Chain A
Amino acid sequence: MSSSLLHPPSHLPPGTALQLSQQAPGILGNSTGAVSSSFFQSILSAPETPELWITYENLLLSCLRTGDDESAHQCLGRLVNRFGDDNERIMALKGILKEADADGPATLDTVLKEYDQILQDNPTNIPILKRRVALLRSTGQISKSVSALISLLDISPTDAEAWAELSDLYFSQGLYSQAIFALEEVLVLQPNAWNIYARLGEILYISSKSSGNAGQLVEALKRFSRSIELCDGYLRGHYGLKLTAKQLLSDFPAGLSNRIDSDGFAVPDVTTLKRLDEMATEKLAEIVRRSSAGERGWQGYDEAEIKATRELLESGSSETIR
């Protein structure tokens, strides 16, 4: 996980976000906010880089997250100075700022009405459409946000992020088959996304647990295997593979070999499942061992994931000791 300010901060742990937002006074004080568009001054001063503006945007999001509204407003001021008020992305950032400053449902309603106003003037303003969906979801109006998202996808069907958000919305409501469909659309658009294969496997596993559908379990196995094919030693992929293989072995100890999948893919038999389980366990054990030993080149893993893997391995090994 990169902690640099060049990447969007929404996935960072709180400690890193605090650290980044504390750089705000330094970065804002470093350069004046003045950006001149006159010819001579742009020759004399240092050339502006795209990284500068990306840094401002991510700094703004980090500051809003940690509650540093003062610096956030300053960042927004500089961005507006450079790009103007009519830029779609700037309008979305202003909307985020207003949502963060809002102190009650009435203010949030006003923000929503403003979004609707902007969309009346320009119905294909994608960043504002996304903000509207996010605000509806945040205020709990899930069905409206789903319909808003579906209309966004009608306008722009190749937006993988929107399909992923739709899948997450459906999953949060327990509508697993729709979530699976939406995630498959994401995969059509981004066929090499190994983490999305793992996510799809996870949703299939959860769905098969609640509905008892063994075909979904087999498909989860396929998805996790594909994620491992795309990414050597993928922790999440191996974890899911181990869980699904164990589940299949315990649900169907005699094997499912007489069933052929919908894709014509033969369901693996018991020996194959056992070998998959062993292979996944071995790989997981190696990852946990090397990463906890602090070996260089194995430190990219997330701590929580390593802890969960350790627990899985311990629970698995205790079963065999009778």
Chain B
Amino acid sequence: MTWISKITTAFGILLLADACYSAYEHSVLQTHRAASLSSLAASHNAPSSSLPIDITIETIVATFIVCLGIVLGTSNLRPIQWRVWAGKIEREGEAGFLNNNGEVEKDYVGNPFRLLESRPGFVDIRKQRKEFAEWVKNK
């Protein structure tokens, strides 16, 4: 999740918490008011006022902001067509598969068939050591 999506989601959650607490306060106020009224006038039932409209608006807006924040934090879509995906790997290498933090995605494996040409199960370790030693000498 990028920082902007984190901020937006956090703000939306704060708003939601505030709206929920306001609604709770309102219901407590209702019961308190009803309790004090019933002690003054036994038969008179004051109509309970419905939830103030601004709390409702705040809840709905908070929900939208949370959804917006989560959507902003999704990673880049990757190509679906095989040839486009393969072309992307060949052309961009690992730079084309960065996640939101700028690191390479965990499940990026490059060209999955590259192992058929490098064949790690049959690696000739002595030849590789010799070649490396020569490369160091020639550097």
Task: Tell me if B92 and A299 are in contact (CB < 8 A).
Answer: yes
Chain B positions within 8 Å of A137 at CB level: 122, 124
Chain A positions within 8 Å of B131 at CB level: 14
Residues of chain B from 80 to 139 with CB closer than 8 A to chain A in the complex: 82-84, 86-96, 104, 108-111, 113-129, 131-133, 135-136
Task: Tell me if B124 and A138 are in contact (CB < 8 A).
Answer: yes
Chain A positions within 8 Å of B127 at CB level: 138
Task: Tell me if A1 and B93 are in contact (CB < 8 A).
Answer: yes
Kindly state the interface size class of chain A when it binds its partner. Answer: 35 or more
Closest B residue by C-beta to A95: B125
Task: Tell me if B123 and A231 are in contact (CB < 8 A).
Answer: no
Question: What distance in Å separates the Cβ of B20 from its nearest Cβ neighbour in chain A?
Answer: 35
Taken together as a complex, chains A and B put the C-alpha atoms of A133 and B119 apart, in Å, by: 12
Taken together as a complex, chains A and B put the C-alpha atoms of A1 and B117 apart, in Å, by: 13
Count the B residues whose beta carbon is within 8 Å of the partner chain — how many? Answer: 41
Q: Is A265 an interface residue (CB 8 A)?
A: no
Task: Tell me if A96 and B123 are in contact (CB < 8 A).
Answer: yes
Question: What distance in Å separates the Cβ of A74 from its nearest Cβ neighbour in chain B?
Answer: 17
Q: B91: which of A64, A130, A300 is its contact (CB, 8 Å)?
A: A300
Q: Is A233 an interface residue (CB 8 A)?
A: yes
Chain A positions within 8 Å of B89 at CB level: 231, 300
Question: What distance in Å separates the Cβ of A9 from its nearest Cβ neighbour in chain B?
Answer: 8
Task: Tell me if A234 and B87 are in contact (CB < 8 A).
Answer: yes
Task: Tell me if B92 and A96 are in contact (CB < 8 A).
Answer: no
Chain B positions within 8 Å of A18 at CB level: 132
Chain B positions within 8 Å of A193 at CB level: 113, 116
Once A4-B104, A7-B109 are accepted as A-B contacts, the answer to whether A14 and B119 lie under 8 Å apart by CB is no
Taken together as a complex, chains A and B put the C-alpha atoms of A102 and B120 apart, in Å, by: 20
Task: Tell me if B122 and A194 are in contact (CB < 8 A).
Answer: no
Once A7-B110, A100-B129 are accepted as A-B contacts, the answer to whether A161 and B122 lie under 8 Å apart by CB is yes
Residues of chain A from 186 to 202 with CB closer than 8 A to chain B in the complex: 186, 190, 192-196, 199
Taken together as a complex, chains A and B put the C-alpha atoms of A190 and B132 apart, in Å, by: 32
Taken together as a complex, chains A and B put the C-alpha atoms of A7 and B135 apart, in Å, by: 22
Closest A residue by C-beta to B128: A65
Task: Tell me if B120 and A14 are in contact (CB < 8 A).
Answer: no
Chain B residues in contact with chain A, CB under 8 A? 82-84, 86-96, 104, 108-111, 113-129, 131-133, 135-136
Please name 7 pairs of A and B residues whose Cβ atoms are closer than 8 Å in the assembled complex, sorted by A.
A4-B104, A99-B126, A130-B121, A164-B117, A199-B117, A300-B91, A301-B91
